[in-house]
Every structure is written in structure tokens, then in C-alpha cells.
Amino acid sequence: MSSSDTPALAQQLLQAISRRKALQGSVAVGLAAAAVPTLTAAWAQTPKPINDRMSGNLTPAHDPSIIRAGDTYYVFSTTMNDKKQAQVPIRTSKDLLKWELEGYAFPKIPAWAVQRIPDTIGVWAPDISYLNGTFYLYYAVSSFGSNRSAIGLATNTTLDPKSPNYHWDDRGVVFESFPKDDYNCIDPTHVVDLQGNQWLAFGSFWSGLKIFKLDPKTGKPESDNPHLFSIAERPTPEGGLDTIEANYIMERDGYYYLFASYDYCCKGVNSTYYTAMGRSKSVTGPYLDEEGRSMMNGYGTVILKADQEEKQRWRGPGHCAILRDHGGQDYIIYHAYDKLHNGAPYLRIAPLVWSKDGWPTAIM
């Protein structure tokens, strides 16, 4: 969810299922691999587009994050700007095609968030991941167009709402930004590197995207003043705010891939979001695009854009996550605005295919 009052979006998605080696593949919680839907296994060799076959509860779905637990896929997304309603809608599917609204992560905006940021209008940009028996749900609160923002964390031992153990334990604030800061503390992504270190990437506009190390015991910074590594910027000649946000980081074959949304979201069919990416041998960068250009200089290889085989219907595709599914098939999940339905934000999913030299293409 953009925290800048501007127009547009992009077509980018990755997934929140295990993002790095420790979590590669799906989360098979309490279920044998044989129970995985045959749909994804069939596409492992020849993936086909699925967006035109998706049905059910697909909108409003903004800033989606995805994970599979057992035989069920779960999508968490932004609450659409109503501070009185339950927060963070959760959708479920058995096959990635038919989606139902399962419920919400929070009955209301967490009390700490309202106290710290009274102008917050909802819980934004949830990021779901799984590690060592625990589901981690990082999320953001802010006031639109401001960098008085904060990232929070809630945990759970199960995603099954019928389980007696189902309960979101809100652990409160993780990190926050203030008007004096040159960064905006929203759009979190939990990352585990190949050495098992945990990181949190974040950022929207201002000076771009950052990442810092986490204490694995708390899921919060190792200190009150963590070292922030800059991983992507889009400097403008006028010295204005960077039009970049919504990071997602995954690891594949020894490379860390950084996806980010460029330009503007949150303006329906007038959104100009698109998704670009780069890769690095280090989680802290430098991230370079396919041409060897740095994302710190505003470059990136485009993977999702509004006119990509979609006949101008779907606008501003972006804020992606990656699903690394059983059988080796990867999917990019994102939202896009539907020109045929008054610019409503819809859940969108595309299989990824990888070139021999390690660059993905979304099958639209």
C-alpha cells in the first residue's frame, strides 16, 4: 500500500511462503506431500496462465502476501481504509483458482498502533512467512502520504481457524519512522538468508528501500538503533521522493532477488505501478538488473507491467510476493486494478518460468 498521495501501480508479485533456503518450497504443516493439489504439479513442466480461471472472492485485494500450509493456500492483504472494521482479510484456496474469504487476522487495529499513530486508517501490507513452527505476520500502519509509520508483528502456530491453537499473538511495534527520518517504515518483508540470519526489508518513497538484521528470538531489531542497509532507490533530478516501494526478496540458486514496485499506486485505473527486479549474491546488495545496472540508481528488469498481454484492462499491477510451491513451480502474486469494474483492486497470480541464466518471466 503506498504511503504517498500519488497515482499508479504495477504488476508484481512474489510469495510469502518460505523465502529463503530455510523456507524454500511450501510449508507442509501436518500434511504429507502427496496431499498437495495436482494442479501445481501438472504445471511444473509447462506452466499455463491462471488469472482468467480464478474465481470467488478476489476483490478488494490489495498488497497480497501468500503462503501454503498443508493443502491450503492463504492470502493476506491490506485492509481497505476503514479503521472501524476487522483488519487484514485472509483468503483461502485449495487450488489457487477458487478463493474464499476465510476471516480476518485482527478484530480491529491493534491498540498500540492507534496510540502511536492516531491517524492510521488501517493495517497495511501484511507479510506472511513460516519458520521453526511459527507463522510470522509483519504488517504496517501509517497515515496516507506521511512517513510517521510503524511495522508490527503478530505470530501464530497455525493458520487453521478451526484449530483450538489458532490465535494471533500481537507482539507490538517492531520498527518505526518519524518525520525527521529520510525513510518510510511500511511494506515489510521477512527474509532468512542462506546462513540462517533473519532480516526485515521495508520502505516506501523517501530514500527508497532498506533492510536491517533481526534478533531471531524476538523477530525485532537486534538493537534500538539497527544499521540500515540501502538496497534500492529511484533518485529524481528534482530531489523529490523516490517512486519505489513494496519490496519482496527471495533466494534462488545462491542469488537473492529483489522485486519492487515503481511509480504510483492507489489511484484505480489511473495507477501507473509496475514491477521491476534485480539480484545479488548478498541479501544487503548490490542488486543489479539483467543489464548489470544497479537498483540503487533506479534501474531494474521489468517483470510486471500494465500492458503485458492484458489488453489494457488490468492497470497498475504491483506489490508482489512469490509463492515457491511444491514441485518447484514458482508463482508471482500481486494486485491489479480492473478497468471493467471501476478500478477495483483484484487478486492476480501468474506462474514464473526461469531462464537458464536465472531470470524469471511471468506467464500472463
Report pLDDT digits (tens) over 257-266: 999 999 989 9
State the fold for domain 21-362. Tachylectin-2; Chain A (2.115.10)
Please report the pLDDT score of residue 31 as a whole number: 31
- Position 47: which residue type? P
Catalytic residue of the set 245, 263, 325, 330: 245
pLDDT at residue 173 greater than cutoff 80: yes
CA distance 156 to 144: 29
- Annotation marks residue 245 as catalytic: yes
| Residue 73: all three cell numbers together | 493456500
Catalytic residue of the set 63, 233, 251, 263: 63
Map out the domains of the chain as residue ranges.
Answer: 21-362
pLDDT at residue 42 greater than cutoff 60: no
pLDDT digit string, tens, across residues 212-248: 999 999 999 999 899 999 999 997 766 566 899 999 9
| Residue 311: all three cell numbers together | 489488453
Percentage of residues in the chain with pLDDT exceeding 90? 76
- Per-residue pLDDT, averaged over 314-330, amounts to 94
pLDDT at residue 5 greater than cutoff 50: no
Number of neighbours of residue 188 by Cβ within 10 angstroms: 26
pLDDT at residue 70 greater than cutoff 90: yes
Q: Which among 346, 265, 340, 353 is positioned nearest to 51, based on CA atoms?
A: 346
| Residue 220: all three cell numbers together | 525485532
- Per-residue pLDDT, averaged over 12-38, amounts to 34
Q: What is the DSSP string of 99-138?
A: EEEEEEEESSS-HHHHHH-TT--S-EEEEEEEETTEEEEE
Percentage of residues in the chain with pLDDT exceeding 70? 84
Please report the pLDDT score of residue 131 as a whole number: 96
Q: Give the SS3 label for residue 297.
A: helix
0.75 cut: is pTM over it? yes
> Which stretch of 17-21, 117-121, 177-181 has the lowest confidence by average pLDDT?
17-21
CA angle, 345 as apex, 91 and 182 as ends, to 5°? 100
CA distance 58 to 56: 6
Q: Which residue has the cell 492507489?
A: 266
Residues β-bridged to residue 103: 90
Please report the pLDDT score of residue 43 as a whole number: 40
Grade residue 84 by pLDDT with cuts at 50, 70 and 90.
confident
- Position 71: which residue type? D
Please report the pLDDT score of residue 235 as a whole number: 79
Grade residue 80 by pLDDT with cuts at 50, 70 and 90.
confident
